[in-house]
Structure 1
Amino acid sequence: MTEIPTSIDAVQRMLADEDYVCDRPLAVVTFLALKLGRPLFLEGEAGVGKTEIAKAIAKGLGRRLIRLQCYEGLDAASAVYEWNFAEQMIAIRTAEAAGGADRDLLKSELFTEEYLIARPLLQAMQPQPGGAPVLLIDELDRTDEPFEAFLLEALSDFAVTIPELGTIAANEPPIVILTSNRTREVHDALKRRCLYHWVDYPAFSREIEILQARAPEAGSTLSREVVAFIQKLRTEDLFKSPGVAETIDWAKCLLALDIMELSPEVIADTLGAILKYQDDIQKIQGSEAARLLTEVRAELSPA
């Protein structure tokens, strides 16, 4: 287990050691979240690195990463715990076969920790090897408002209640990171419990740093062309602009094909690595890809 970084620069170094290139504003809010024990709420487009920072923090601190992947219809029971009904039924059948089972005693024995299946929120409240875990609540905007209300209470006290067992509180609060792609607004009450940061698309130089950290095999020419082309795509009227994750994926695909520089044909063959909707692919294929590549090379050429 590594100690919590004692400075903003130390946070940046820790994340850089895990190949996460972090600008200073994000490093500042991360440092404050770690130092003050406050949840960190990250919003931004998909693929800009919100989830990856939680992974990098967990690795950098040597803590367990516990991930709660949110989805529509997620409820408190699914996020906290459930009873192992199969094992409970076996215990009931065994007691019945033995005869003379005391129902009240059997009931009390069935609802114990032996038959409890801990889900992410409960796991995060329990002691973990190496210290308090990193709890990633990913894509919170996909859930419903009732779950938000429950989560607000859980994060306020870092405790959850199981009717049969009582309240379970964390001895050491987890490091909590919440992410949202902003498909809907998250309630202000929950945001007020957190430190907030909008994770934007990186500038050209920053995205080059990220690509060099994640795909160091890519040469300078290919890296610059890939990043410039992706950033040019983000200015187009697309259904879904490519994120940093797509930049990295595309570079790795090009390296797998032994491609050292872009061409309209190469772009057409590999658009599926960066665009995920057929309408977007059709819009960029052919002469449009050639036009964008020409503009990219003109911008990259020395004056």
Structure 2
Amino acid sequence: MTERSEHTPLDGPESCRRALAAAGYIADDAVATACFLALELDRPLLCEGVPGVGKTSLARALAQVLGGPLIRLQCYEGLDSTHALYDWDFAAQILHVRTLEAQATSTGTALAAAGIEDELHRERFLVARPILKALQAGAPVAAGAAGGRAVLLIDELDRADDEFDALLLEVLSDWSLTIPELGTVRAAVPPVVILTSNRTRDVHDALKRRCLYHWFDQPGPEREREVLALHVPHAASGLRGAVVAAAGRLRAADLLKPPGTSETIDWLRALHALRVDELDEPALRASLSAVVKDAADIPVAREVLGVTGGA
């Protein structure tokens, strides 16, 4: 049986839900439960779903709840260990070698190759990338320091190559990273790890088994209105409802990039900035660029929303 984590500042899913709401994130019971278990069991949480439904913003809210740093690794094709784990400061190493050579010349001594190798791989030349930073944030030297638990956001994992899944699995299995020249860095307090994926490729099964999992659906109209009220509180209630209804019609249409909740938030903010109180045709025409993000979708969206005039 898994022991209760000593690092969880919340006492249950409902407590987690309230804390996330205070941080500006409207979580349903399933999301709150998944987050609580990720904290309680020290397990990564894999969040999959269509873009714009709150996967990335969940990590930001958790960092605010926990009072620790948010460390983000944005994934992309070709991502490798030197950008995800650590690298060496080559320029600083070269300068150091030149300094050693100058000192040797002035003193008439010879440089030992083994000694130079040791000099060049000291910690001061190490460049910590996001994953190493997250482990260091929970290392023993930092465990008693001020600040809360670190949140590591590995964003859009599906954009990275399959090989990256294996690299990630190795680190997440025991919350440690071995640097051959320096030794092993082990997190005394594991970071909270949120992985997001838009499912442009399947995440490796072995990594999925290591994680807790939550699928993010597009929120229903009532919850989306709650989210809009939280993020754009000064907009009229009737306008929020009209935006949610219009976004629903766009999602039901054959769009290449249907709007997520992040787009409806942008849309309502744009309408509020334009001092609009009613989602009529002029308002739709003026604000369509805030919600439609593909040229091929513009004529379809205009037809669905009844926008006939203008460019």
TM over 0.5: yes
Residue correspondence of structure 1 range 153-192 to structure 2 within 5 A: 153-192=170-209
User: Once the 2 structures are TM-superposed, how far is the Cα of residue 3 of structure 1 from its aligned partner?
Assistant: 5.5
Question: Given residue 179 of structure 2, which amino acid in structure 1 is its aligned partner?
Answer: I
RMSD: 1.5
d(CA) in 1 for partners of 2:37 and 2:206? 20
> 1:65 is matched with which residue?
70
**Do the aligned residues in 2 keep the contact of 1:84 with 1:116 (CA within 8 Å)?**
yes
d(CA) in 2 for partners of 1:64 and 1:158? 17
Question: Given residue 182 of structure 2, which amino acid in structure 1 is its aligned partner?
Answer: L
Residue correspondence of structure 1 range 203-214 to structure 2 within 5 A: 203-214=220-231
Q: Structure 2 length as normaliser, TM-score? A: 0.90
Q: Deviations over 1:105-137 (max 9, x none)?
A: 122011010100100010111135424311111
d(CA) in 1 for partners of 2:34 and 2:284? 37
> 1:18 is matched with which residue?
23
Instruction: Report percent identity of matched pairs.
Output: 50
Query: Following TM superposition, where does structure 1 have runs of at least 4 consecutive aligned residues deviating by more than 6 angstroms?
Result: none
Q: Does 1:122 align with 2:132?
A: yes
d(CA) in 1 for partners of 2:304 and 2:255? 13
Q: Deviations over 1:255-285 (max 9, x none)?
A: 1110111112221222111111001012222
Q: Does 1:54 align with 2:70?
A: no
Structure 1 window deviating more from structure 2 (182-191 vs 159-168): it is 159-168
d(CA) in 2 for partners of 1:181 and 1:234? 17
d(CA) in 2 for partners of 1:257 and 1:268? 12
Q: Does 1:193 align with 2:210?
A: yes
Residue correspondence of structure 1 range 146-295 to structure 2 within 5 A: 146-285=163-302, 287-290=303-306
Q: Does 1:110 align with 2:120?
A: yes
Q: Structure 1 length as normaliser, TM-score? A: 0.92
**Do the aligned residues in 1 keep the contact of 2:67 with 2:149 (CA within 8 Å)?**
no
Q: Which of 36, 39, 43 is the matching residue for 1:31?
A: 36
Q: Deviations over 1:159-195 (max 9, x none)?
A: 1122211222111111111100011111111111111
d(CA) in 1 for partners of 2:287 and 2:179? 50
Unaligned runs of 5+ in 2: 1-6
d(CA) in 2 for partners of 1:118 and 1:288? 49
Unaligned runs of 5+ in 1: 293-303
Question: Given residue 16 of structure 2, which amino acid in structure 1 is its aligned partner?
Answer: V
Q: Deviations over 1:82-119 (max 9, x none)?
A: 10011111111111122233332122011010100100
